[in-house]
């Protein structure tokens, strides 16, 4: 009887761990699925509002999307409206984000710092 | 030239004739068994990769017994019983297989290398697609691994030896080797040999068990799939391998080498490291299997194998595998009733973790009745879960049984 109980105990431990592994797999998938959903939502809104993806890095947008997720499918509409409002408000104030962006521009040739104009030509 | 001179010239014959009758007959029997294993391997009735080196090793070790300088019988292959360090250093320079035995077999390295190779061949995507179902079937198919323990104890074995022979029900050779090396050092040779002999028989024996337990009508069921299963990305499989490895090592540090080897194989496969995959699935796996077979054969020396418990082990091994098969089919029946007849009970037997043999056996049995039925995705998921649950059970046995004693 004692042996049977011990075997049963070991079986229960094995079952608990195996199902824990299965649960781990499910949890991993739920996490990945939610991330994918969020990514898709971002992509759709960006496309509809014709915005650069870099704008989504702000924390207020993150909170809007989180709230939208909690509302389920209707949240997408809510997220789009909230996001548009957020952008509108963002454009209203004067504070700059202090990030300097230097775009590469095509420039015509300029000899202002050219070496050939700063040296005296050699004369024999 | 006298008869004595001839006998001293052909020591294999002289040691055979001068032995006790039981040793002599065992040696002759094992030589013949070795030849039979080579034949069955060649005919592909048993696994040729393992059986051909094993058969030759078995025949050669029992034929090549000679009189050593200390006037005792011995061989030039290996001596598994040496434990004294000075004697071991001497014997490492004499016996040609001793270095491989000492440095790869007796510490479980070869089992881990085979397991790493299995990991590289496993596609965990089948398991990840249906984790709960696969794990449930795998647990049912471990019935023999658990129920054989009380049966073995009723036969007079102690708990550690019982657990080692019960592992045959897990149908995973490296796992039986690893468990028996840790739990029953005295019996690990016959247990491992019994395990590998029986594992070869799953391909031949399980179809009859399916026919016996599952009616023809149910065997032809094509499982209904609710929707197209999601494609599992490589990143997801890699994340699963890493997380499972860490958690299982944390739970069972004693079996950590096994877990690490298996999941390392899976991680390398999913990382797409082509050169490493080729190396592990090719030279490493085949090399390890070859030396494993050869060492198992050479360990079947008459003095070592002549154990009164060998017959009990042979009986227990087959009981264990049989119970696991029955347990798997019972799991399949449970799913059949839960799904309202939409699940094929044959899939259950694939959860016996003999990768991929049992999954192929299940698909073949179904295909014979209904050529349109495809059960391989579910069967492979259960099969791979079987490997993981067997590793978990090995970890539980190695950790808990010394404490329960």
User: Model confidence at B287, in pLDDT bands (50, 70, 90)?
Assistant: very high
Compare all CA atoms of chain A with the CA of B250 and give the residue at the minimum distance: A17
Rounded Cα distance, A41 and A66, in Å: 11
Nearest CA to A83 out of A62, A107, A54 is that of A62
Residue B193's pLDDT band (boundaries 50, 70, 90)? Answer: confident
Chain B residue numbers with beta carbons less than 8 Å from the beta carbon of A24 are 240, 243-244, 247
Percentage of residues in chain B having pLDDT higher than 90: 15
Residue for token digits 């198992």?
A: B296
DSSP structure string for B298-313: HH--HHHH--TTHHHH
Contact partners, residue A24, CB within 8 Å, separation at least 6: B240, B243, B244, B247
Rounded to whole angstroms, the Cα distance separating B269 from B141 reads 27
Whether chain B has a CB inside 8 Å of the CB on A37: the answer is no
Q: Report the sign of the C-alpha dihedral through residues B71, B77, B82, B87, in that order.
A: positive
* Residue from B93, B21, B95 nearest B64 by CA: B95
What is the reported pLDDT for A75? Answer: 65
> What does the pLDDT read at residue A69?
64
A3 close contact with B: CB closer than 8 A: yes
SS3 B67: strand
pLDDT of residue B12 exceeding 90, the answer is no
- Res B331 pLDDT > 70: yes
Chain B CB contacts of A10 under 8 Å are: 146, 393, 396-397, 400
Please, which residues have CB within 8 angstroms of residue B264's CB and are 6 or more apart in sequence?
B116, B119, B245
Are residues B385 and A18, on separate chains, in Cβ contact within 8 Å? yes
> Cβ–Cβ of B146/A3 closer than 8 Å?
no
Average pLDDT over residues B305-311: 77
Distance from CA of A28 to the nearest CA of B (A): 8
A chain contacts of residue B248, beta-carbon cutoff 8 Å: 17, 21
pLDDT for res A93: 55
- pLDDT for B326 equals 92
For tokens 């699925």, name the residue.
A33
Is the minimum CB–CB distance between B261 and chain A shorter than 8 Å?
A: no
Q: Which residue reads 């775009």 in tokens?
A: A103
Q: Nearest CA of chain B to the CA of A39: how many Å?
A: 16
Write down the pLDDT at residue A74: 61
Q: Does B389 touch chain A (CB under 8 A)?
A: yes
**What is the distance between the alpha carbons of residues B390 and B400, in angstroms, rounded to a whole number?**
15
Helix (H) or strand (E) holding B264: helix B256-271
Residue that the structure tokens 């349109």 belong to: B372
The answer to whether B35 touches B62, Cβ cutoff 8 Å, is no
Which residues, at least 6 apart from A33, have a Cβ–Cβ distance to it below 8 Å? none
Inter-chain CB proximity B388 and A13 less than 8 Å? no
Most confident of A35-44, A100-109, B322-331: B322-331
Complex ipTM value: 0.73
Taking a C-beta distance cutoff of 8 angstroms, is the pair B323, B169 a contact?
yes
Distance between B238 CA and the closest CA of chain A, angstroms = 11
Q: Per residue in B122-180, pLDDT tens?
A: 888 888 888 888 889 999 998 989 999 999 999 888 888 899 999 988 888 788 888 88
Task: From chain A, pick out residues whose CB is under 8 angstroms from the CB of B393.
Answer: 10, 14
pTM for the model stands at 0.74
Contact yes or no for A56/A42 (Cβ under 8 A): yes
What is the nearest CA distance from B385 to chain A, expressed in angstroms? 9
State the best of B146, B248, B384, B403 to mutate against chain A, taking most chain A CBs within 10 Å: B146
Higher pLDDT, residue A84 or B383: B383
Mean pLDDT score of chain B, rounded to an integer? 85
At residue B190, does pLDDT exceed 60? yes
Helix, strand or coil for residue B73? Answer: strand
Q: Note whether B240 contacts A: Cβ–Cβ < 8 A.
A: yes
Q: How far is CA B29 from the centre of its chain?
A: 24
A11 to chain B, any CB pair closer than 8 A? The answer is yes
Q: Is B283 an interface residue toward A (CB < 8 Å)? A: no
- Is residue B210 less than 8 Å (CB to CB) from chain A? no
| Residue A45 to residues A35, A62, B266, B276, Cα–Cα distance (Å) | 16, 13, 38, 43
Determine the pLDDT at residue B56.
94
Which residue in the set A14, A17, A20 is minimally distant from B142, CB to CB? A14
pLDDT surpassing 70 at residue A51: no
Q: How far apart are CA B346 and CA B144, in angstroms?
A: 17
Taking each helix axis as running N to C, give the angle between helix A2-49 and helix B376-404, from 0 to 180 degrees, rounded to the nearest 10. 130
Q: Do B389 and A18 touch (CB under 8 A)?
A: yes
Task: Read off the pLDDT of each residue in B273-298 and give the average, rounded to a whole number.
Answer: 90
Report CB contact under 8 Å: B131, A10.
no
Chain B residues with CB-CB distance to A18 below 8 A? 135, 138-139, 385, 388-389, 392
The answer to whether the CB of B137 falls within 8 A of the CB of B351 is: yes
For residue A17, list chain B residues with Cβ-Cβ distance below 8 A.
248, 251, 392, 396
């Amino acid at each position: 009887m004692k042996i049977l109980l011990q075997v049963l105990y070991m079986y229960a431990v094995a079952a608990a761990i195996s199902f824990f592994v299965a649960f781990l797999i499910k949890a991993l998938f739920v996490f990945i699925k939610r991330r994918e959903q969020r990514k898709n939502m971002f992509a759709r809104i960006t496309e509809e509002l014709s915005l650069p993806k870099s704008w989504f890095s702000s924390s207020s947008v993150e909170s809007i999307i989180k709230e939208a997720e909690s509302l389920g499918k209707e949240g997408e509409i809510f997220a789009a409206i909230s996001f548009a409002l957020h952008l509108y408000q963002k454009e209203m104030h004067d504070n700059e984000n202090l990030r300097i962006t230097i775009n590469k521009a095509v420039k015509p040739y300029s000899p202002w710092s050219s070496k050939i104009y700063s040296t005296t030509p050699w004369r024999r | 030239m006298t008869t004595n001179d001839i006998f001293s010239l052909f020591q294999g014959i002289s040691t055979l004739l001068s032995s006790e009758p039981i040793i002599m007959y065992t040696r002759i029997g094992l030589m013949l068994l070795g030849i039979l294993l080579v034949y069955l391997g060649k005919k592909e009735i048993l696994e040729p990769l393992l059986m051909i080196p094993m058969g030759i090793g078995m025949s050669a070790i029992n034929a090549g017994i000679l009189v050593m300088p200390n006037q005792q019988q011995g061989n030039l292959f290996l001596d598994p019983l040496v434990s004294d360090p000075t004697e071991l250093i001497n014997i490492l320079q004499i016996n040609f297989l001793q270095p491989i035995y000492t440095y790869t077999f007796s510490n479980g390295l070869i089992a881990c290398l085979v397991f790493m190779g299995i990991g590289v061949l496993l596609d965990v995507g089948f398991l990840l697609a249906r984790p709960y179902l696969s794990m449930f079937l795998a647990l049912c198919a471990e019935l023999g691994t658990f129920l054989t323990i009380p049966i073995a104890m009723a036969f007079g074995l102690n708990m550690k030896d019982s657990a080692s022979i019960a592992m045959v029900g897990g149908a995973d050779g490296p796992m039986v080797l690893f468990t028996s090396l840790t739990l029953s050092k005295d019996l690990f040779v016959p247990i491992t040999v019994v395990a590998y002999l029986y594992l070869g028989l799953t391909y031949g024996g399980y179809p009859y068990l399916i026919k016996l337990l599952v009616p023809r009508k149910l065997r032809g069921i094509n499982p209904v799939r609710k929707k197209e299963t999601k494609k599992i990305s490589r990143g997801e499989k890699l994340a699963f391998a890493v997380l499972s490895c860490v958690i299982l090592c944390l739970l069972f540090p004693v079996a950590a080498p096994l877990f690490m080897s298996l999941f390392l194989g899976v991680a390398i496969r999913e990382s797409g490291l082509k050169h490493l995959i080729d190396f592990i699935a090719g030279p490493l796996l085949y090399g390890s299997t070859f030396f494993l077979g050869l060492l198992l054969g050479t360990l079947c020396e008459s003095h070592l194998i002549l154990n009164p418990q060998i017959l009990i082990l042979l009986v227990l091994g087959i009981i264990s595998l049989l119970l696991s098969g029955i347990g798997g089919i019972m799991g399949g029946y449970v799913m059949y009733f839960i799904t309202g007849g939409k699940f094929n009970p044959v899939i259950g037997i694939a959860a016996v973790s003999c990768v991929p043999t049992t999954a192929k056996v299940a698909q073949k049995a179904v295909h014979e009745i209904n050529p349109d039925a495809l059960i391989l995705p579910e069967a492979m998921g259960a099969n791979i879960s079987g490997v993981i649950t067997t590793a978990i059970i090995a970890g539980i046995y190695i950790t808990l049984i010394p404490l329960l004693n």
